[in-house]
Amino acid sequence: MISRVADSCFWLTRYLERVDSLARLIGVHHSLHIDAGPQTQQRGRPLLEFVGRTGFYRSLPDHPSVDDADRVEHYLVWDGSHPASLHRGVQSVRENARTIREILSHEAWEAINDLWLWLRSNDARRAYDESRNDFYEHFTRTAVLFHGVSHASMLHDEAFTFMKLGRAVERTDLTARLLAIHHPRVHKTAEGESAALLAALRSTCAFEPFFRAGRPLNLTEVTRFLVFDPSLPRSVVYNLDEARFLLRGLRREDPLALPRRSRQSLERFRGELIQMDIGDIERRGIPATLDWVVRSTAHLCRAIHDDYLNPPMAWLRHCVRVLETVSPDEGATRAA
């Protein structure tokens, strides 16, 4: 498929995943205040940390306080002037969807477009004022709706593969970040470690699965679960396995023996991770390990870009010349 289109497929789901995570995270922290009591105002800090906007936020013209949680929340939801807000996130999802409207099914497009139209309507403002929980659920439900409806109404072809690949790498990255900001050293809440761990589980959709798996609630177990559990859809390993499966499928469709850096990058990353156990991670330091996961994911994404989404022109021209000498009549393959 056209590389630029694959790029939009990849980014559509990445942005959607970000919107989904941020909405869930803010929702979780919004409901923490009952437990947290007077410390409730500090709930804005991990949110800013999560999207990496603490510095930007502090330097806004009116020098807002990071402890003004309502202000932080408003900034992260409505402020269209920075890329990390939900508003901009939804806009980016929709722009990507509009660009590849020819790929999406009508139902899949409407799921996205409806979210955008809703967010710009008075209904959304009213939900924000009257029921914050309903407000955030609107985003997370749309994400689920999109994944379901695209699965049910679109060809499971290469475009769909890139949408799933975007989701997998984004989830790898987001789970590591969500765990990192809830690390007790970062997230100092009044109720201590357990509230932070519960928030980490809730914001990764792992709350019920964790207890169903019968694990005791402590940092080691939560980390092990979110990083290694092979059946948890948002765990790091689950998503690396998914990405690996998808990249293998793409490689099988290569008409030429094209060198693929993304495969190498992923194999090295995944190989290193699955050789570790939780003890290794704790010795290395959980925050340091999570940081390594984030950096390795970024490396993988760059490789995917070079291999598939934005291949260098010089390399493409080289391919043509190689192919023309091999079979001058046929040139590069015509088949889609």
Partner 1 sequence: MEPQVSGKEALVLRSGTRLDGDEPADLFGGYHPLPRTFDEMFDADGTPHPHMVGVADPIRRMDRTEYRRLQRLASNAFLRGGITFSVYDEDDGDPDRIFPFDLIPRVITRTEWNRVEKGLVQRVCALNAFLDDIYGDGRILAEGLVPREMVHSSKAWVPSLVGVRPSGKVRIHIAGIDLVRGSDGELVVLEDNVRTPSGVSYVLENRAVMRRVLPQRWERRVAPLDEYPSRLRAAMSAVAPCAEGPDNAVVLTPGPFNSAYFEHSFLARRMGCDLVSGSDLFVERDRVYARTTHGPRRVDVIYRRIDDDFLDPEFYRADSALGVPGLMKAYAARNVSLINAVGNGVADDKGIYPYVPEMIRFYLSEEPILRQVKTYICDRPDECRYVVDHLRELVVKAVGEAGGYGMLVGPTASREQIELFRGRIAENPRNYIAQPIVELSTCPTWTNEGIQPRRVDLRPYVITGNGSWVLPGGLTRVALVRGSYVVNSSQGGGSKDTWVLEDA
Give the interface with partner 1 as residue ranges (CB under 8 A): 1-6, 80, 95, 98-99, 101-103, 106, 109-110, 113-114, 117, 120, 158, 162, 250, 253-256, 258, 308-309, 311, 313, 316-317, 319-321, 323-324, 331-336
* Residue among 7 and 229 whose Cβ is closer to partner 1: 7
Tell me the CA distances in angstroms from 20 to 38, 170, 260, 321, one per residue in order: 28, 11, 31, 45
Instruction: Using the structure block, give the residue that is written with the tokens 């710009």.
Output: 120
Instruction: Using the structure block, give the residue that is written with the tokens 């919107």.
Output: 19
* Residue among 50 and 109 whose Cβ is closer to partner 1: 109
Dihedral sign (CA 195, 201, 203, 209): negative
For residue 316, the minimal CB distance to partner 1 (Å) is: 5
Read off the tokens for 301: 């994404």
Rounded-to-integer distance, Cα 31 and Cα 310, Å: 42
* Residue among 249 and 279 whose Cβ is closer to partner 1: 249
For residue 122, the minimal CB distance to partner 1 (Å) is: 15
* Residue among 212 and 252 whose Cβ is closer to partner 1: 252
For residue 92, the minimal CB distance to partner 1 (Å) is: 13
* Residue among 35 and 79 whose Cβ is closer to partner 1: 79
Read off the tokens for 70: 């309502």
Rounded-to-integer distance, Cα 286 and Cα 49, Å: 17
Residue type at position 294: V
* Residue among 42 and 142 whose Cβ is closer to partner 1: 142
CB 158 within 8 A of CB 253: yes
For residue 37, the minimal CB distance to partner 1 (Å) is: 39
CB 216 within 8 A of CB 238: no
For residue 213, the minimal CB distance to partner 1 (Å) is: 38
For residue 107, the minimal CB distance to partner 1 (Å) is: 11
